[in-house]
Chains A and B, each alone.
Chain A
Amino acid sequence: MTITTVRHTVYVVHYMTPGTDNHELFENLRLELRRGSLVLAVLAALRKEHYGYTLRKTLADRGMAIDEGTLYPLLRRLESHGLLVSEWREEEKRNKRFYRLSADGKEIFKQLMTEWQSISTSLNGML
């Protein structure tokens, strides 16, 4: 075992374990990174019509789990900006609110996707 290995182990145990400042910092940065991409994920999923619960399931199945306390306010915000349209409909004897992209939403989604791809290409070149 070299001195570098020991130092690395000490660093990982003391500085990167849950509850430490570094872990908290990482968690905050990770959430920030995810938050930025959530809008794109939601817009992408709503190219097909969904109601809240199935949308949440779809996102979770694709690895973009999002809690309802974040998703529903986000849907409201996107709708108020005119990017989504929604309607209440009865399905399986229950009233559900279905969402899909509006015409403006489709346009913005296209632009955001282009931007995302550009960022992704740039980052891939750097990483």
Chain B
Amino acid sequence: MDLVDSYVNAVAKALPEEQRADIIGELSEDIRSEMDERQKELGRPLTPDEQEGLLKKRGNPWLLAARYRQDQRSVAFGRQIIGPVLYPFYVKVLTFNLGLTFLIVGGIFLALRLAGQNISVGDMVSTCTLQFFIQFSVVTLIFSLVEKHLTKHPDRWHIKGTGGKFRLDLNIERDFQVRMGQVGMGQARMGSQRREVSRFESVSVIVASAVALVWWSSVQSHPFLIFGPAAALFNLAPIWHQIYFPIVVLTDLEIVRAIINLVRPDWTQFRAIARVILQAGGLAVMWFAMKAKSWVTVADPAADGAGKYAQVAHIVNQCLLYVLVSAAIFSAAMIIFRITELIRRRRWDVEPRGVGSAAKEGN
């Protein structure tokens, strides 16, 4: 697949099916005509960089596709939060998520019903309403953040070097502008190592952590939020209450860290150190949780069919053990990686500046 195909495919995905073939045929022809003409002018084939340059001039494929669409619907709460460009993707994702969620919830209700549980219409309505609210809020939040990014940086996207796939550049870390001509190559090389924490990232972390905190606090008193209708049969083991406070503290600290980086995006070293400390804290909590060996218990061991539920709890506990072990290994690997990166940057920062000065003089 060449770059033109990749670009055109990206446009196609954002077009209504009935118009797709027609628009794509015409667009593809227009791009190839332009490239042919440019090749004739240069007397040689275009390099991939030149091809990407021509495609970049045409703009973001999703924005281009939106101009063809008749459907200009958007999502607005007072002001527009998801525009016509992302609206079709938003509807697709939300529909898929809700469909899948309701299918799973329906399956759980059916299984409970077959197991002889009494399921009221009220249970079903409240579960579905809650799931709808969660999915709607999360999907809408994510899309509104992407919309904001797209509006602010419509030119941040790639085709080249992405395996033929269109990618929005959602890099949450943005290099400081390296003024090559003014600071020289050596300093520029050092400058390229200096980054700033994007506000997009900080705001995302604050929002996501706040949502997680609310959820975590609610789960303690309402196990329904994690077990759904099975909350009548299972309980959270005491370990979850023991690690409740440490997790709240770690999440609060992460929010504080993000707020500080929102005010001081240039404090990247602070973020790197804070991340290592918080991740180490998380690992300690995970270690403590792993030692419990039981995370889900049967609500009423004397009830009818309790043996069957104990078996289910055993399977769930086994799965949770694997999840916790995997998460702990991943977390430990991340800590090692971040410490290595910190040391590498530290060395870079204390490196003599002579190289940069010499390069500056040489310019």
Contact = CB atoms under 8 A, between A and B. Distances in A.
Contacts, number: 38
B25 interface: yes
Given A53-B34, A69-B58, A69-B59, A76 B68 contact: yes
Contact of B30 (A68, A70, A73, A88): A68
Interface string A66-78: 0111101100100
Given A72-B23, A94-B32, A95-B25, 16 more contacts: A52-B26, A53-B29, A53-B33, A56-B30, A67-B59, A69-B63, A69-B64, A69-B67, A72-B27, A72-B68, A76-B23, A76-B68, A95-B29, A96-B29, A97-B25, A97-B29
Interface of B is mostly: helix
Interface of B: 23, 25-27, 29-30, 32-34, 58-59, 63-64, 67-68
A53 B27 CA distance: 9
B68 A53 contact: no
Interface in A82-98: 88, 94-97
B67 A73 contact: yes
Contacts of A72: 23, 26-27, 30, 68
A127 B58 CA distance: 37
A79 to B, nearest CB: 11
A46 B25 CA distance: 20
Nearest to B22: A97
Given A68-B58, A69-B58, A51 B29 contact: yes
Contacts of B26: 52, 72, 97
Contacts of B32: 94
30 contacts: A51-B29, A52-B29, A52-B30, A53-B29, A53-B30, A53-B33, A53-B34, A67-B58, A68-B27, A68-B30, A68-B58, A69-B58, A69-B59, A69-B63, A69-B64, A69-B67, A72-B23, A72-B26, A72-B30, A72-B68, A73-B68, A76-B23, A76-B68, A94-B29, A94-B32, A95-B25, A96-B29, A97-B25, A97-B26, A97-B29
Nearest to A56: B30
Contacts of A95: 25, 29
Contacts of A94: 29, 32
Nearest to A71: B30
Contacts of A76: 23, 68
Contacts of B23: 72, 76
A38 to B, nearest CB: 14
B57 to A, nearest CB: 9
Contacts of B67: 69-70, 73
Contacts of B59: 67, 69
A87 to B, nearest CB: 12
Interface in A80-123: 88, 94-97
Contacts of A73: 67-68
A16 B354 CA distance: 44
B33 to A, nearest CB: 4
Nearest to A75: B26
Contacts of B64: 69
A110 B67 CA distance: 28
Interface in A38-55: 51-53
